[in-house]
Amino acid sequence: MRDNDTTTTPMLIGRDEACRVLGIGRRKLWELTNRGVIPHVRIDRAIRYSPDSLRRWIAAQEQGGARR
């Protein structure tokens, strides 16, 4: 991968993008982050989210499915 490749996914995303990915509001995202439920990264006072970690977290939350 080249350093100037603009088609790559960012390593970290901000609050608004994380809300969009998860389909939740800012307050719920803050609550999950504050409780340590959702994976996040703190850089000084800024909180960021890894898209890959969010995808893995979403997959781990899946429940149910078709009954046979």
Determine the pLDDT at residue 48. Answer: 98
Report pLDDT digits (tens) over 52-68. 999 999 999 988 776 66
Q: Is the pLDDT of residue 2 over 70?
A: no
- Chain centroid to CA 6: how far? 20
Domain ranges of the chain: 15-58
Report pLDDT digits (tens) over 3-41. 565 567 789 999 999 999 999 999 999 999 999 999 999
Query: Concatenated DSSP letters for 16-66?
Result: HHHHHHHT--HHHHHHHHHTT-S--EEETTEEEB-HHHHHHHHHHH-----
Q: Tell me how far apart the 2 most distant CA atoms of the chain are, in Å.
A: 50
More confident residue, 2 or 9: 9
